[in-house]
Amino acid sequence: MSAKFVVTGAAGFIASQVCHQLLDQGDEVVGVDNLNDYYDVRLKNWRLDQLQAHTNAHNFTFLKLDIEDHTKLIDLFKKQGPFDAVLNLAARAGVRYSMENPHVYLSTNTEGTLNLLDCMRANGCNKIVLASTSSLYAGQKMPFAEDLAVNEPLSPYAASKKAGELMAYSYYKLYQVDVSVVRYFTVFGPAGRPDMSIFRFIKWIDEGHPIELFGDGSQSRDFTYVDDIANGTVAAIQDVGYEIINLGGGRNPVSLSNIIESLELLIGKQANIENKPFHIADIKETWADITKAKNLLAWEPQTSLVKGLENSVQWYFDNRDWLKEVPV
């Protein structure tokens, strides 16, 4: 039996893949996105075009809408509902930019989440999947498990995501809203965000532009392929009460230097590396403990790092004509 979902941030990197997977299984999707210019909107429009070309595109409705606008969200729930669940992937992302413009992070990531929760409560929608971040684990012992205390965020971005988690917990306790918080670990893949390392590295290596590498390249990440992340997000649409669930590679973290070496081989060009000071808000390493995801969601990543990098490079080559104009 099909269901009906709201997916926020639907033109985004991860949310667009979540929409694809929901459409694949025959569900109805109302996707909303404010199409802001944090990065080049052509990427967001490209992802929306792919959704409009889906075999089940008749089940997809897109609305340009900002989750910070409570009044328009109320209207959305009245006109498009009822909904079986909300998948809130709309967010201001990026650690460094959050230090330059912290207010917009709070208004989107925290107040926007509150607006959605309040509309859910008023309209009898009792399930939310809330996207969060591994950035909360800064300074903790690895691999990062969900029961670690994460009360010392290093950036306004991490703080705003933690606040969203806490707001969702209050609605779980007060109004019995069922909450799956999914903490993402360094997501990569085709049509990624141009401010993220792998997109940048591919473009810079191909164009002969110096790679801006903060630190010495030894910092490492638990890279996780976007299709796997989307799969885990969809799997989290189940009754759990209130649970925080890591979605990550669950493998030994890989250094940025190793990523660059792999991309050099795939692209067939040498990188020109320009080292810069390590950023104060960056995490040295990330590594997800995904035991809970395996047990609760029967989920674990299926795509190897090598295959994911191959797919990312191929997508870049296939779209290079217009991607050359996209700033990173």
Q: Choose among 288, 275, 132, 271: nearest CA to 223.
A: 288
Token look-up 């230090």 returns: 99
CB atoms within 10 A of CB 180: 27
Axis crossing angle, helix 305-318 with helix 256-267, rounded to the nearest 10: 50
38 is catalytic: no
Among residues 157, 171, 172, 184, which one is catalytic?
157
Q: Choose among 179, 185, 156: nearest CA to 167.
A: 179
CB atoms within 10 A of CB 17: 27
Alpha-carbon torsion, ordered 247, 250, 251, 252, to 10 deg: 100
Q: Choose among 96, 140, 136, 93: nearest CA to 280.
A: 96
Q: Choose among 200, 224, 160: nearest CA to 17.
A: 224
The sign one gets for the Cα dihedral 34, 224, 241, 160 is negative
Distance CA 207, CA 222 (A): 27
Q: How big is the chain by its Cα radius of gyration, in Å?
A: 19
The per-type count for the chain, helices as H runs and strands as E runs, is 13, 13
Distance CA 242, CA 229 (A): 19
Alpha helices in the chain, H assignment, sequence order:
13-24, 41-52, 70-80, 95-100, 102-105, 112-123, 156-175, 197-207, 226-235, 256-267, 291-297, 305-318, 320-323
Length of the chain: 328
Task: Report, as residue numbers or ranges, the catalytic residues.
Answer: 157
